Structure 1
Amino acid sequence: MLAYRHAFHAGNHADVLKHLVLTQVLRYMGEKDKAYTLVDTHAGAGGYSVEGRYAQKKGEYAGGVARLWDAKDLPEPLQPYVELVKEFNPDGQLRQYPGSPALANLLMREQDRLRCYEIHPTDQRILASYLEPRANTQVFDKDGFSSLKAELPPPSRRAVVLMDPSYELKTDYGKVLAALREGLQKFPETVFLIWYPQLALLESNQLPQRLKATADQMAKKGWLHVRLTVTQPDDKGFGMLGSGMFVVNPPFTLHDQLKDCLPWLVEHLGQYDGASFLLEQQVS
């Protein structure tokens, strides 16, 4: 959706969960010498100023990454993620937040292939300029959902796909599910990372169950589902309560890594007494 700008939400609690998972998965993929491909279907601008007018409008980063920045008791699985955010801010102050492509750029090796899709023209130009020096990288101004089939399987037959649309259009829920099915048909070994908002909407509530059913049928190595609930609905029953990540063919290490840090995230990012987490998996 061309009106959506992630800069308003950069570094919030949802980004913390999403990028914690992304960081752990890419670190795992990099443990083998063989190259892998990361496809980011909704890549954004790459980096965002938390001092700019967009981020300052709601200050969502203050309830997210800012609470991890100076924490002295970070659980070990959170440390690599926070270290990458600090690497993106070399002057030691939290001024910029790295989006998914920037985190990938910091983690991926020269032989690893990065494919980014972004249809917002301004964000696409910013991202293309930022990633221009990186080898084995392409940034497309095309729809990531419809382009995914052409990316699978990659030459090395090791692939990660990140799908995190805005979901401002309800059709995104169906497109995520369709893209997962098509992707697994092309290459069942693909590691899919699917972010979704926790909303008081039927589509949001149904998506994890529909993803589970698809993964049970088509994935090689099962699935993992993690959700972080940080707040309550507003007076009208609306608002984003938290967010979730659904991982298809997850690394075997991911469950225990998340288990070690989710209670800490609930304590530090929760905005009411009922803040909680969910962590479940199915191993094929």
Structure 2
Amino acid sequence: MFSYRHAFHAGNHADVLKHLTLIATLKHLMHKDPGIQFVDTHAGAGLYRLDGDYAEKSGEAADGILKLLATKDLAKIPALQDYLDMVAGFNSGGSTRIYPGSPFIMHRLLRYEARDRLKLFEMHPTDHKSLTGNIEQLNAGRTVSVTRADGFESLKALLPPPVSTSGSRRTCVLIDPSYEIKNDYYRVIDCIQDSLKRFATGTYIVWYPIIPRPEAHDLPRKLKTMCTQLKKPWLHATLAIGRATGGDDTGLSASGMFLINPPYTLKPLLNEALPIVAKALARGPGQSWAVESGG
């Protein structure tokens, strides 16, 4: 149960898709003044060293953020520039040695004047310890909480979110388990279904791997069906970098993001950014990207 460590995969192509989408979503939500409750159900360690033993062993960042940084003319794409600026903000001296996970990306965007709140959950004992230590350095006080608990179950107590000082309720949830056990796919479906019953207007963001497993292909289909039945808008984005040639091709090559109640601005932003990302990260046959929406 505790074998997965995101440190091996930090900054890979899946992180590029996940965090590019996350930042574009959060920046739109923050255009409105009322505070927001942000939740990361599977937070990981929060910060990762790309020159550390884990990342160097896998080398996945070389086909992700590092490859993207070596691409020219990205500054013309707003969503991409926001993402690259975020990563650059955790580094200095022109090198990229630190990669921010979702908790630190969310924290960097928090508006203290709006009293945004960040709830982080992580079950892995080592990653929870690292996450706690990393967050403590921020001196964020009650703005950020870290709990070693099952994020799926813990989310229930947070919905509906508390009323903000302006009298509104707003929440944005990121759900990105490791999917090492196939039960995670079913738990995501159950979690989204329960969450929409508790708080129908929240923004829910699901990351998932695209792998040759029935559960992985069923997940977006089932989420679309659910949204259609509940008359909820949705957005589905995928990125595949293609199969490696002349080497080991056992690693993840594609992933997807599924959003319920997404910002209306997200689709055009991704349609502009993902062709550039896909071209920059392409490594062989099967490279593709797609953005679809409904509701």
TM bin, normalised by shorter chain, reads: over 0.9
- C-alpha spacing 1:237/1:207, structure 2 compared with 1 (3 Å): farther
Alignment of 1:153-168 (within 5 A): 153-155=160-162, 156=164, 157-168=169-180
Cα distance in 1, alignment partners of residues 181 and 287 from structure 2: 27
1:41 equivalent in alignment to 2:41: yes
The count of residues paired between Structure 1 and Structure 2 equals 282
Question: 1:138 corresponds to which residue?
Answer: 145
Cα distance in 2, alignment partners of residues 46 and 105 from structure 1: 10
- TM-superposed CA distance for 1:233, in Å, is 8.5
Q: Is the CA contact 1:26–1:108 (under 8 Å) kept in the aligned structure 2? A: no
- TM-superposed CA distance for 1:219, in Å, is 5.5
Q: Is the CA contact 1:85–1:98 (under 8 Å) kept in the aligned structure 2? A: yes
Question: 1:230 corresponds to which residue?
Answer: 241
Q: Is the CA contact 2:121–2:146 (under 8 Å) kept in the aligned structure 1? A: yes
2:208 to 186, 191, 196: 196
| TM-score (normalised: structure 1) | 0.95
- CA deviation string 1:108-136 (max 9, x = no partner): 11211100000111211221222231142
- C-alpha spacing 1:159/1:274, structure 2 compared with 1 (3 Å): same
Question: 1:101 corresponds to which residue?
Answer: 103
Q: Is the CA contact 2:243–2:285 (under 8 Å) kept in the aligned structure 1? A: no
Please, which runs of 5 or more residues in structure 2 have no aligned partner? none
Look up the SS of the partner of 2:157 in the other structure.
helix
Letter in 2 for 1:91: G
- CA deviation string 1:64-97 (max 9, x = no partner): 0002224331122100111010001133311010
- C-alpha spacing 1:180/1:272, structure 2 compared with 1 (3 Å): same
Question: 1:207 corresponds to which residue?
Answer: 219
Letter in 2 for 1:173: Y
Please, which runs of 5 or more residues in structure 1 have no aligned partner? none
Identity within the alignment, % = 45
- C-alpha spacing 1:103/1:232, structure 2 compared with 1 (3 Å): same
Question: 1:127 corresponds to which residue?
Answer: 131
> Which 10-residue stretch deviates more, 87-96 or 236-245?
236-245
> Which 10-residue stretch deviates more, 70-79 or 158-167?
70-79
Alignment of 1:21-36 (within 5 A): 21-36=21-36
Question: Aligned Cα RMSD in Å?
Answer: 1.8
Cα distance in 2, alignment partners of residues 200 and 233 from structure 1: 16
> Which 10-residue stretch deviates more, 189-198 or 233-242?
233-242
Cα distance in 1, alignment partners of residues 156 and 90 from structure 2: 32
Q: Is the CA contact 2:244–2:283 (under 8 Å) kept in the aligned structure 1? A: no
Look up the SS of the partner of 2:35 in the other structure.
coil
Q: Is the CA contact 1:228–1:266 (under 8 Å) kept in the aligned structure 2? A: yes
> Which 10-residue stretch deviates more, 104-113 or 64-73?
64-73
| TM-score (normalised: structure 2) | 0.91
Letter in 2 for 1:124: H
